[in-house]
Amino acid sequence: MRLEGKVALITGGASGIGLATVQKFVEEGAKVAVADINAARAQEVVDTLPAGSAIAVGVNVAVFAEVEAAVASTVEAFGKLDVIFNNAGIAGGKPLLEHDPAVDYEPLIRVDQDGVYYGILAAGRQFRAQGGGGVIISTSSIYGEQAAELSFTYSAAKAAVISFTRSAAYELAEYGIRAVAITPGRVGTAIINQFSDDLKATFASEQLRNKMTEPIEIANVVAFLASDEANVINGTVVHVDDGYSVFKQRLDLPVF
């Protein structure tokens, strides 16, 4: 098991990509803190896992003190921290000129951008204090590298995650700390599954396999990135978008 002996803190761990990653990490031998703003749901997840393999931690990643407390709770339960997966996020979209900053800007920046910064800072300090290095993995998005519909704030926050990752890798390398960002494409989570079948079919067509990515497929990559097998992957943006970023749309080719 590639994560045997590792301790991980996974934010947004009670659903979607976070939940799949919690399950994958435990399967690979890690101890996991399932951190989520919905503490009750996090505990339900823990209750489905082998006894002693995980704890539930309630956390609002938009509050630095709560992120620090989540790190401390993980260390108290398992004795150390090896990996943080800054995955918690929210979505939302509206045309820019219709924005209410209090609704359409500030909440996304606090969660999707500040929450990752807080995770990097809190985990980085813990890694330095305990010695031995650590791994910081953060969820960006394909939208962090391009413009897209109704995503002015979301794209900005996810672009910041990429910049944070590069800077963290540079600054923290002397402590043996790696930092990596992932950019998922269209993943079959609750955020997307709420939409109509027609819209989901359109989303699927934007990827090379012509289907949505499953959360476990992202979790598989995160588990690899957290492992010692990925020691040379640092300061990198790992695209987990099934080719979304390499083409615009499929065309019916003319007959020559």
Among residues 245, 256, 242, which one has the least CA distance to residue 188? 242
Instruction: Determine the Cα–Cα distance for residues 186 and 212; give it in Å rounded to an integer.
Output: 6
Instruction: Determine the Cα–Cα distance for residues 178 and 120; give it in Å rounded to an integer.
Output: 11
DSSP state letter for 174: G
Q: Which residues of 19-29 are buried (b: 16+ CB within 10 A; e: fewer)?
A: bbbbbbbbebe
C-beta separation of 149 from 142 below 8 A = no
Greatest CA separation found in the chain?
Answer: 68
154 given a catalytic annotation: yes
Among residues 223, 220, 224, 225, which one has the least CA distance to residue 236? 225
Rg (Cα) of the chain, in Å, rounded?
18
Q: Beta 83-86 vs 134-139: how paired, if at all?
A: parallel
Choice among 118, 143, 154, 244 that is catalytic: 154
Instruction: Determine the Cα–Cα distance for residues 185 and 202; give it in Å rounded to an integer.
Output: 13
Q: How many CB atoms lie within 10 A of CB 112?
A: 29
Q: Which residues are catalytic?
A: 154
